[in-house]
Amino acid sequence: MSILVIAEHDHKSIKPITLNVVAAALAIDADVHVLVAGTDCANAAEEAAKINDVTKVLKADAPELSHRLAENLAPVVVDIASGYSHILAPATTFGKNVSPRVAALLDTQQISDISAVHDADTFDRPIYAGNAIATVKSSDALKIITVRGTAFDPVGAEGGSASIEDVASKGDAGLSSFKGQELSESDRPELTAAKIVISGGRGVGSGENFALIEKLADKLGAAVGASRAAVDAGYVPNDYQVGQTGKVVAPDLYIAIGISGAIQHLAGMKGSKIIVAINKDEEAPIFNVADYGLVADLFDAVPELIEKL
Amino acid sequence: MKVLVPVKRAIDYNVKIRVKADNTGVETANVKMSINPFDEIAIEEATKLKEAGKVTEIVVVSIGPSQAQETIRNAMAIGADRGILVETDLPTDIGGVEPLAVAKTLKAIVDKEQPDLVIMGKQSIDDDSNQTGQMLSALLGWSQGTFASKVELGDGTVDVTREIDGGLETLTLQMPAIITTDLRLNEPRYASLPNIMKAKKKSLEITKPEDYGVDFSPRLSVVKVVEPAPRVGGGKVESVDELIDKLKNEAKVI
């Protein structure tokens, strides 16, 4: 049987997380198909066809699929599900929104946010904000899974030459419609895909002071994150939040500045390869997970860092 | 207008959890339990709608052990009018009652209670599945507004602003609808003592899974539960110069 990956894309191009999900699929079985459901999404479908080791791309192109509404997208997946042993989606707000809807329609108990594949039925998933790892074995004939992208190294975006096949949209369910959006404008890399992440916490002190974090990030070509305390204090928007209730990141380098290291924050970043902590409180729990801890006032250390890098 | 709010009893978010010595799960005996924080936000939102005169009745539902009655009473002290407990001794974190079974039970309750809106937490902080709202919406054939940071009732519709990767998105949902709450939707109030006393007198119906004809047998068996590999940290540097040197020459990440 084949495996279906539900691609995350913006109609023009494939989001990088899709490459991590394909990697998880390849850890289960070799025949991986990718569904690109959108509006005028031929470009995204062509990009998907180039993903290394993908054998087929299914393209559902219809106006009602323009805003990834779960009510319209789930029936498209359900319609083609019978040909697959596993259906995988990224554990992003997109995948988390649509995948359980598909699972319920197919009377399947979804396996959320997997971080490892043992065999075709058995997977690891973090529970309790990553403070425990459960290995679970599914008895469902079809497995519906969301994948923690940072747990799987991405496959190559180039090298494949899959065929593209059209599949039908099931129409507009008429249950919901798109009204508007406010997206953060930034030239910096996406938080969950960045190689370097610089995060600020309550110690940064204000929204204005966050410019210091951003300046360091730009010097290193890094993404900017924040602790929940900094988000709650209104220094930065919510989508900067790294942690249990925000984003899970695992970059090569994570620099935590003015962050004490609450359990909720650690859950979102302790998979990073190298962790640096800069904090003036030497008792801060963040130092327990840091490879390189610098006990210093961030308003002295960060400008010095920017100058010397 | 009637609102249904499902709530879950879970280990308190401040507790540092311990994995059981036999690796079958997480220790829940003699551990502080509380209402799942996202569910508390859901009950607060329903209560605010009631205070604004838009909602007439709030029904709270929980699936769990007998002690989940306390969780329901907590929700009543915030603003729910009556409660239903589906009592089960199966674990509710993992290896027991799973999101699909919960969604099926809630569907049976929705069919009977006929609410216009179901407001519930986006996930519980024990199994972190983030599935039940979407599944309930699918089983009912309703609209879904997940990860809500703002809810505005219209005429037969509800506008839900959702926290998505990269920002916010607003959808207009046809009612009846399912809304799942994110952290910034509101700040739950502390229940006042008079309201805690009043909550004790509100109606709480205790039912069994069999009453809803739902099979609670888990589809996912737990092979093992372990603690994550500990991170070896605690390394220190004395200066910015030393930090830059280590990052360049030891870790080779810049």
CA angle B187, A213, B150 (to 5 degrees): 25
Note the pLDDT of residue A253. 97
- Rounded CA gap, B136 and A202, in Å? 38
For the stretch B139-163, pLDDT in tens is 999 999 999 999 999 999 999 999 9
How many CB atoms neighbour CB B234 within 10 A? 11
Query: Per the domain annotation, does A179 fall within a domain?
Result: no
For the stretch B194-239, pLDDT in tens is 999 999 999 999 999 999 999 999 999 999 999 988 888 989 999 9
DSSP-assigned states of every residue in A14-49 = B-THHHHHHHHHHTT-S-EEEEEEESS-HHHHHHHH
Query: What is the distance in angstroms between the Cα of B247 and the nearest Cα belonging to chain A?
Result: 9
**Domain residue spans of chain B:** 2-250
- Listed in sequence order, the residues at least 6 apart from A170 whose beta carbon sits closer than 8 Å to its beta carbon are A72, A75, A76, A79
Note the pLDDT of residue A142. 98
The answer to whether the CB atoms of B221 and A137 lie below 8 A apart is: yes
For the stretch A140-157, pLDDT in tens is 999 999 999 989 999 999
Note the pLDDT of residue B248. 95
Query: What is the distance in angstroms between the Cα of B5 and the nearest Cα belonging to chain A?
Result: 19
CA-nearest of B71, B27, B121 to A128 is B27
Region B77-90 average pLDDT:
98
Note the pLDDT of residue B46. 98
Looking at residue A22, which CATH number applies to its domain?
A: 3.40.50.620
pTM: 0.93
Q: Can you say how many angstroms the Cα of residue A191 is from the centroid of all Cα atoms in its chain?
A: 9
For the stretch A228-245, pLDDT in tens is 999 999 999 888 999 977
Note the pLDDT of residue B211. 96
Whether A109 and chain B come into contact, CB under 8 Å, resolves to yes
Contacts of A97 in chain B (CB under 8 A): 134, 144, 146-147
- Using 50, 70 and 90 to split pLDDT, how confident is the model at A211? very high
Region B31-53 average pLDDT:
97
Contacts of B130 in chain A (CB under 8 A): 96, 100, 112-113
- Number of structural domains in chain A: 2
Note the pLDDT of residue A183. 86
The answer to whether the CB atoms of A184 and B166 lie below 8 A apart is: yes
**Are residues A12 and A155 both part of a single domain?**
yes
- Rounded CA gap, A112 and A123, in Å? 10
**Are residues A262 and A302 both part of a single domain?**
yes
If one compares A189 and A19, the residue with the highest pLDDT of the two is A19
Taking a C-beta distance cutoff of 8 angstroms, is the pair A121, B221 a contact?
no
Query: Per the domain annotation, does A300 fall within a domain?
Result: yes
- Rounded CA gap, A198 and A191, in Å? 10
- Rounded CA gap, B125 and B127, in Å? 6
The answer to whether the CB atoms of A112 and B128 lie below 8 A apart is: yes
- Rounded CA gap, A167 and A170, in Å? 10
**Are residues A115 and A208 both part of a single domain?**
no
Taking a C-beta distance cutoff of 8 angstroms, is the pair A39, A65 a contact?
yes
Which residue in the set B94, B134, B225 is minimally distant from A101, CB to CB?
Answer: B134
Taking a C-beta distance cutoff of 8 angstroms, is the pair A102, A72 a contact?
no
Note the pLDDT of residue B125. 94
**Are residues A100 and A30 both part of a single domain?**
yes
> Which one-letter amino acid corresponds to residue B36?
N
Write B15-23 long-range contacts (CB < 8 A, 24+): B16/A131, B16/A263, B17/A128, B17/A131, B17/A132, B19/A132, B19/B225, B19/B226, B19/B227, B20/B225, B23/B224, B23/B225, B23/B226
Region A60-83 average pLDDT:
97
pLDDT higher than threshold 90 for residue A96: yes
The answer to whether the CB atoms of B235 and A293 lie below 8 A apart is: yes
Note the pLDDT of residue A267. 87
For the stretch A244-260, pLDDT in tens is 778 889 899 999 999 99
- Rounded CA gap, B108 and B114, in Å? 10
Note the pLDDT of residue A245. 75
> Residue B141 corresponds to which tokens in the numbers above?
């054939």
**Are residues A125 and A223 both part of a single domain?**
no
CA angle A251, A254, A259 (to 5 degrees): 140
- Using 50, 70 and 90 to split pLDDT, how confident is the model at A209? very high
The answer to whether the CB atoms of B247 and A253 lie below 8 A apart is: yes
Residue keyed to tokens 């929204």: A207
Domain range for residue A274?
196-308
Region B172-182 average pLDDT:
97
- Using 50, 70 and 90 to split pLDDT, how confident is the model at A130? confident
Of A245-254, B28-37, B71-80, minimum mean pLDDT range: A245-254
Query: What is the distance in angstroms between the Cα of B54 and the nearest Cα belonging to chain A?
Result: 21
Q: Where is A60: in which H helix or E strand?
A: strand A54-61
Model ipTM? 0.95
Q: Which of residues 11-40 of A touch B (CB under 8 A)?
A: none
Note the pLDDT of residue A237. 87
Closest residue of B to A266, CA-based? B231
Query: Per the domain annotation, does A210 fall within a domain?
Result: yes
Region B26-35 average pLDDT:
95
Residue keyed to tokens 């998933």: A125
Looking at residue A269, which CATH number applies to its domain?
A: 3.40.50.1220
Note the pLDDT of residue A40. 98
pLDDT higher than threshold 80 for residue A184: no
- Using 50, 70 and 90 to split pLDDT, how confident is the model at A1? confident
pLDDT more than 90, % of chain A: 89
Query: Per the domain annotation, does A187 fall within a domain?
Result: no
Query: Per the domain annotation, does A173 fall within a domain?
Result: no
May I ask the CATH class of domain B2-250?
A: alpha beta
**Are residues A242 and A124 both part of a single domain?**
no
The answer to whether the CB atoms of B162 and A93 lie below 8 A apart is: yes
The answer to whether the CB atoms of B166 and A296 lie below 8 A apart is: no
**Are residues A154 and A44 both part of a single domain?**
yes
Average per-residue pLDDT in chain B?
96
Contacts of B131 in chain A (CB under 8 A): 100, 103, 110, 112
Query: Per the domain annotation, does A243 fall within a domain?
Result: yes
Contacts of B17 in chain A (CB under 8 A): 128, 131-132
If one compares A248 and A41, the residue with the highest pLDDT of the two is A41
Mutate: best of A8, A101, A137, A227, partner B, most B CBs <10 A: A101
